Amino acid sequence: MRKSFKLRLFIQIFLACGIVILANRQIAQYLLSTQLTDRVHLQMGQALQRCSQHFSDPSEYLLCNARLDQGNLTAWLADHHVLCPALIEGQIQEAACRVMRENTASWSREKSGLATSIEVAQRPIENDDWVAVRQAGQAQGPMILLAKSNVSQFQAQIWSLRDRNLVYVLPVILTMLLLVTWYMAHVALRPIRQLEKSMSDLTLENLTHVRVADAEFREFQSFVAIYQDLRTRLNESFVKARRFAGDVSHELRTPLTILRGHAEQLIRQLPVGSDAQVQVRVISDEIERLIDIVERLLLLSRADANSIKVNMQALNFSQAITQMIGESHGFQSNVTFSGQIEPNIVWHCDRQLVGQLLQNLYTNAVNYNLPGGWVKVVLTRESNALRLTVENPTRELTDEMINRAFERFYRGAASHNRTIDGQGLGLSLSLEIAKVHQGQLSVERTAEHTFKVSLTAPLNPTLA
């Protein structure tokens, strides 16, 4: 089973989008952690600058801190601030404040955007890392301390809220991701679908007319140019092949006709029943075969070039079929013919071409029949169209025989068996005759293991 390129492209785009989203999540989380740390330092500096006068009353400090920025995400950390008022001689402060004041080497200034610069220091105290903020140059001034574990706890709560919300929005994200992936795959394959449609519409009849639209993207311009060049060369090859077949068939008609005339003259001149007369008669038969092949090839060449000239006349098709069945009883004693012919079906057609079509169907049914077999012919009227079916039992039918029935020079299982007369052109020529009359010719293998040829055509075709 072949793989689906569209499915593979869809999966790859989906995975790529998923990887991008995960990478963006990790990068955002890393950057947010850094930004959160900077934000905490800034908020501590703001509180130090504007609320240090309330250090003696924690409740007043919290109110002041809350008024600084009502949208500040880190305002709740104020509950965990350790407030260190300005040092007064002889005053005993908390151990954390004392340790930080003794730490004179690790203070560094930060760009905070505040009116006055602040200094930040970090130091482990009692199995935890602490960060302290003070105004620049005021070693004995007020400070605010905060344990990093509190910041980490706050950050963990943010991630928890984010993950909790992600559970609710995940179906929406997956749905949007699937839609975006499908759209990207659809857009990526659109130029290929356009080329596919143009190629699928290409036939011998419109080989010179069908043209692929200009490539919408420059990546496909060279591909379209190559396709246009191949189409042009293919059309030239078909034109040369049709011209060759037509010219050869036309040139062979005259010498073959002369040979047939001389062969018939020799037959009349030689003693009746002599070996020489038998040999010349065999030669005459083969000349007739060649003439028939030439005529068929010439007609097929004209069909390929859409140059078959038709002389449309009214034909009582019911009567013609009945006559064919009646004559077959006298010529084919080993095959039984039967018919269901709806009377008075008049078909406006080219009598000569239709006669050749009937002859081809008749010959095919007889040659590929079983010994002591039968041929059933059914003609019915369907609205303003006719339907003719010719059915006969035959040797084992294969899928290849059904699929290649209209292929020129194909003779099925008997391709290498010269005991069956024919050149493998009958059905292909019949198909072209049906097309000329705006009809359709099809073959099928029935449930009873018989071979059925069906012709449908309008009774009054409107030819251009």
Residue 385 and residue 341 in contact, taking contact as beta carbons nearer than 8 Å: no
- Mean pLDDT across 422-428: 73
For residue 40, give the nearest of 150, 162, 158, 159 by alpha carbon.
150
What pLDDT does residue 206 have?
Answer: 66
Q: Which residue has the tokens 């239709």?
A: 354
Domain assignments of the chain as residue spans, ordered by start: 5-165, 218-304, 312-458
Q: What is the mean pLDDT of the segment spanning 219-232?
A: 76
Stretch 181-201: mean pLDDT: 76
Q: How far is CA 426 from CA 347, 365, 417, in A?
A: 22, 11, 17
Q: What is the DSSP letter of 114?
A: S
What is the average per-residue pLDDT within 283-301? Answer: 75
User: If 0-12 CB within 10 Å is exposed, 13-18 middle and 19+ buried, where does residue 390 land?
Assistant: buried
Give the number of C-alpha atoms closer than 13 A to the C-alpha of residue 203, restricted to the C-beta side. Answer: 6
More confident residue, 7 or 377: 377
pLDDT of 61 higher than 50 = yes
pLDDT digits (tens, 9 = 90+) for 432-464: 888 888 899 999 988 888 899 999 999 988 765
- Enter the tokens of residue 334: 């080993």
In Å, what is the CA distance from 414 to each residue of 329, 368, 424, 429?
A: 25, 9, 10, 19
Mean pLDDT rounded to a whole number for the chain: 80
pLDDT at 415 over 50: no
Range of 67-76, 240-249, 409-418, 448-457 with top mean pLDDT: 448-457
Highest mean pLDDT among 86-95, 219-228, 281-290, 339-348: 339-348
**Angstrom distance (rounded) from CA 391 to CA 442:** 12
Q: Using only C-alpha atoms, what is the Rg of the chain? A: 48
214-220 average pLDDT score: 65
Report the CATH number of the 218-304 domain: 1.10.287.130
Q: Percent of the chain beyond pLDDT 90?
A: 10
The two structure tokens encoding residue 437:
């009359």
Contact between residue 123 and residue 130 where contact means Cβ atoms under 8 Å apart: yes
Q: Which residue has the higher pLDDT, 214 or 410?
A: 410
* % of the chain surpassing 70 pLDDT: 81
- Token pair in block for residue 306: 């859409």
Query: Which residue is listed with tokens 């039968």?
Result: 374
Residue 92 or residue 43, greater confidence: 43
Instruction: Pick the range with the lowest mean pLDDT from 63-72, 141-150, 425-434.
Output: 63-72
pTM score of the predicted model: 0.48
Residue closest to 396 by CA, chosen among 410, 379, 414, 408:
414
In this prediction, residues 21-47 reach a mean pLDDT of 81
List pLDDT tens digits, range 318-357. Answer: 999 998 888 877 666 678 888 899 999 999 998 888 888 8
CATH class of 312-458: alpha beta
Distance CA 73, CA 29 (A): 16
Largest CA distance in the chain: 156
Q: Residue range 18-22: average pLDDT?
A: 80
